[in-house]
Amino acid sequence: MKKGICRVIICFLLCAGLLPYAAALPIGVYHNRTNDGNMIALTFDDGPHPKYTRKILDILDEYGIPATFFFVGENVSYYQDTAREVVKRGHEIGNHTYSHPRVSKQSDAAFREELVRCEDVIKQVTGVHPKVFRPPQGSWNQRVYEIARQRDYSVILWDLDTLDWAHTPSEKIANYILENAKSGNIILMHDYHSGCCTTLDALRMFIPDLIEQGYRFVTVSELIQE
């Protein structure tokens, strides 16, 4: 069977829930990456935000850990100083499209434009060429995968969703992470919020406990290279 046809069938079975999630992911798509070094990746979507991104950076600095920030291009253009600060403090930047659409519902041309526009503004503002891409809402399909791979992106999903965007209480987020943490986790959080932000307190609750348990925080790119 040709590779292209095989991939389409696998994608269909995955969406239909007929294959285990991890087993069905094509090469270059990750929701975790099991390793022998107790490494996990902390990721933040939808920023940069002029208030919350900087507060998150301060918390990460306190514990001396890196993270990956999946930027929305529009927000990079609005908050350029904050975007540059993320790079200055040694964190990884990923592509999260220019305007945060549901890319699996877009045409090839529309999605490619979203990807390239975000890539271009990130390079223009920060000097960084992102190499990891996260589809908004985790919505991807074979076309999204192929276009992202054509531009040399790894597609990054997650296996622990904190639901912090829904203002989930900090204690609940922390307990969820601590109860489900394992080597290779990719943790989904957000640094762009409307209204109350429970992310900050949650970070202070679970980061020190995970470090004490022997987990090591790395960027997504470091994690998937293992």
Long-range contacts at 134-139 (CB < 8 A, ≥ 24 apart): 134/43, 134/45, 134/70, 134/94, 134/95, 134/96, 135/97, 135/103, 135/104, 136/45, 136/96, 136/97, 136/100, 136/101, 136/102, 136/103, 137/102, 139/102, 139/103, 139/104, 139/105
Residue 29 near residue 158 (C-beta atoms within 8 A): no
Active site residue 120: no
Question: Which of 31, 45, 49, 193 is labelled catalytic?
Answer: 45
63-72 burial: b if 16+ Cβ within 10 Å, else e: eebbbbbbbb
The model's pTM:
0.89
Active site residue 45: yes
Q: Looking at residue 25, what is its pLDDT? A: 81
Q: Looking at residue 67, what is its pLDDT? A: 98
User: Three-class SS of residue 19?
Assistant: coil
User: Three-class SS of residue 126?
Assistant: helix
> Which one, of 176, 136, 168, 149, lies nearest residue 45 by Cα?
136
Residue 89 near residue 48 (C-beta atoms within 8 A): no
Q: Looking at residue 5, what is its pLDDT? A: 44
Per-residue pLDDT of the chain (226 residues; tens, 9 = 90+): 344 444 444 444 444 333 334 446 888 999 999 999 999 999 999 999 999 999 999 999 999 999 999 999 999 999 999 999 999 999 999 999 999 999 999 999 999 999 999 999 999 999 999 999 999 999 999 999 999 999 999 999 999 999 999 999 999 999 999 999 999 999 999 999 777 789 999 999 999 999 999 999 999 999 999 7
Q: Looking at residue 195, what is its pLDDT? A: 74
Question: Which of 49, 100, 190, 193 is labelled catalytic?
Answer: 190
